[in-house]
Amino acid sequence: MQRHRIVLIAGILAVFATILPLAAAVIYARHRAVEAERAHLVEYSDWTLRRAERNFDRIRDVFRELQTTRWQPCNEAHIARMRQLAVDNQSIEEVGYFAGGKLACTSWGVVRQNVGRGTPDTWVEGGYGLYLNVRPKVSRGGVVIAVDHGDYNTLVNHERFVDVLTDTPMTIGIATLDGRVVAFNGDAPSDAVAKAAAGDGFARIGTRVFASVHDGHFRAFAITDRAYIQQRMERELWALVPLALLTSALLVALIVWTSRRRLTPERELEAAIRRRELHVLYQPIMEITTGLCVGAEALLRWQRGDGTSVSPEVFIPLAEQHRLIEPLTDMMIGCVVADLADMLRRERSVHVAINISAADMQSGRFLPILTSALAEAGVAPRQIWLEATERGFMDAAAARETLEKARAQGHLVAIDDFGTGYSSLAQLAALPLDALKIDKSFVDAIGREAATSVVVPHVIEIAHGLKLLIVAEGVETREQEAYLRAAGVGFAQGWLYAKALPATEFLAFRAAANGQRVSPFLTSLAG
């Protein structure tokens, strides 16, 4: 990703990081305020319901006592008991007795008027009839609720059902389960009272909000102004806004830090691997005696999205340093199989050499991946040579285990850039190797009066003594080729033959160089 795109995206993210925490604070504050007010109203609704049930229990107790005793209707003892129950029970204003559908006497005495029983406005579980707005005929008091059961009724003030103290202004009320309002206090609009009495839950109507709860007898509700939610929300914001500002600052700092990290070379390489900006080129490997192209070394190249290239001498050490070499190895395997599987299936004597990092050589974790890819593509393991530098043999025991597994599967193993590291001859002899590659720095010294010019014959002699195949790297002149041929070096690669080529160009180069010829030596080696 280009630098200006990263900066642009970081700027956009910074704007969102500034706005979103504040917006989230407002949304969360409102949510908290609504939930707090809902819980507040539910709490008072529950208290009101319990208050109503306690009062109704007292009323039931009065009915139970009067109905379980055999009274002489409306005699002095009967009226005295009704009077005493009305006095002792704070929930009841008056007790009445009916005979033949007429009010015969009350706790005030014998009734001389013709007062009919009437039909209840609604019923409560247990056979209790409710007359919701009754004006007493005997005591001539204010409007009350009449509760009717058996031969008796009781008169109760509406306030007895809703006399609950509240800590904020609200309307509380009691209704029957069918939505008939029994009693309420406050000044809530009638439509809000009706809706609260009709169903449970928490809802809004106009400028009011309400909560309702119920049990087996009644529904209780509490109604308040939505302005109290706004007040709660403002209190919440006083606590949340500083936290939101701190969060915004931290997010912006994180975005800046992340953007700067993404602009570092290792993060750029990680992104390039993810976007598969790296690709593979193939440098032909030639059989010196016949001039045949017998294979290729696969080389990773990195070309950025903007067209600029990064040298392998830069990104390979970077990948090794930052634990990115393993995905590079996996990418290399995938590319080689995708590019050359068809050719490798047709030409069993051709091989491709893949460089294996020191980390992969120590762990051996690439082998199952390579084996699976080759099996799926139908490529013989012997056609994939594994090249490892001397650094890959720092842990000789681990490297030997990996090499033995690789060779057991059929791969040939080469030590790359021999002589530039610190391998001893004893260590080299102890490792299960098949080939040795002479580094370009030694090939360059051939025919020159250079201190390294004496190294090449010794390296060749060592390889011959260990019966290793020899590949010379960086061959650029016919003089170097002639020297290597005379010294018994079998294979070479370098600009004398071709630079590293894309897959299609490598296939074309090999076809032009070989025609129908096949290397007898490598054919026998391929088995």
pLDDT at position 6 is 58
Q: Kindly tell me if the per-residue pLDDT of 243 is higher than 90.
A: no
Q: Kindly tell me if the per-residue pLDDT of 252 is higher than 80.
A: no
How many degrees, rounded to 5, is the angle at CA 225 between CA 223 and CA 227? 150
pLDDT at position 527 is 56
pLDDT at position 22 is 81
User: Which of 7 and 117 is assigned the larger pLDDT?
Assistant: 117
pLDDT 10s digits, 305-336: 777 888 888 888 888 888 888 999 999 999 99
Distance from CA of residue 62 to its chain's centroid? 63
pLDDT 10s digits, 388-425: 877 666 667 778 889 899 999 999 999 887 765 545 56
- The stretch 261-284 carries a mean pLDDT of 81
pTM, two decimals, is 0.55
pLDDT at position 323 is 84
Q: Does residue 150 sit in helix, strand or coil?
A: coil
Return d(Cα 263, Cα 9) in angstroms, integer. Answer: 13
pLDDT at position 261 is 57
- The stretch 91-118 carries a mean pLDDT of 91
User: Which of 488 and 310 is assigned the larger pLDDT?
Assistant: 488
Distances in Å between the alpha carbon of 249 and those of 16, 25, 29, 236, 241? 12, 14, 20, 20, 12
- The stretch 277-298 carries a mean pLDDT of 94
pLDDT at position 493 is 96
- Three-class SS of 424-492: CHHHHHHCCCCEEEECHHHHCCCCCCCHHHHHHHHHHHHHHHCCCEEEECCCCCHHHHHHHHHCCCCEE
Share of the chain above pLDDT 70, in %: 89
3 band by pLDDT with thresholds 50, 70 and 90: low
Contact 211, 199 (CB under 8 A): no
Tokens read off for 401: 């285990």
259 band by pLDDT with thresholds 50, 70 and 90: low
- How many Å is the Cα radius of gyration of the chain? 48
- The stretch 3-17 carries a mean pLDDT of 63
pLDDT at position 5 is 63
- The stretch 497-526 carries a mean pLDDT of 84
- The stretch 45-65 carries a mean pLDDT of 91
pLDDT 10s digits, 152-206: 999 998 888 888 888 889 999 999 888 889 888 888 888 888 898 888 888 888 8
pLDDT at position 30 is 85
Q: Kindly tell me if the per-residue pLDDT of 348 is higher than 60.
A: yes
Return d(Cα 300, Cα 502) in angstroms, integer. Answer: 11
Q: Kindly tell me if the per-residue pLDDT of 2 is higher than 60.
A: no
pLDDT at position 304 is 76
pLDDT at position 226 is 85
- The stretch 115-134 carries a mean pLDDT of 90
pLDDT at position 98 is 94
pLDDT at position 256 is 66
Residue 168 is given by DSSP the state: S
Phi, psi of 304 (to 5 degrees): -65, 165
- The stretch 240-266 carries a mean pLDDT of 70
pLDDT at position 1 is 47
User: In this structure, how many other beta carbons lie within 10 angstroms of the beta carbon of residue 506?
Assistant: 24
Mean pLDDT of the chain: 85
Q: Kindly tell me if the per-residue pLDDT of 45 is higher than 80.
A: yes
3-state helix, strand, coil split of the chain in percent (to 5) is 50, 25, 30
- The stretch 366-380 carries a mean pLDDT of 94
Share of the chain above pLDDT 90, in %: 42
Domains detected in the chain: 1-263 (no CATH), 277-526 (3.20.20.450)
- The least confident of 6-20, 63-77, 308-322 is 6-20
How many degrees, rounded to 5, is the angle at CA 295 between CA 454 and CA 292? 80
Q: What are the helix (H) ranges across 156-297?
A: 159-162, 190-198, 227-262, 265-274
Q: Kindly tell me if the per-residue pLDDT of 62 is higher than 90.
A: yes
Those residues whose C-beta lies under 8 Å from the C-beta of residue 57, and which sit 6 or more positions away, are none
Q: Kindly tell me if the per-residue pLDDT of 114 is higher than 50.
A: yes
Contact 340, 298 (CB under 8 A): no
- The least confident of 114-118, 254-258, 352-356 is 254-258
Q: Kindly tell me if the per-residue pLDDT of 479 is higher than 90.
A: yes
- The stretch 354-369 carries a mean pLDDT of 90
pLDDT at position 7 is 59
Q: Kindly tell me if the per-residue pLDDT of 429 is higher than 50.
A: yes
What's the number of CA atoms in the CB half-sphere (13 Å) around residue 276? 6
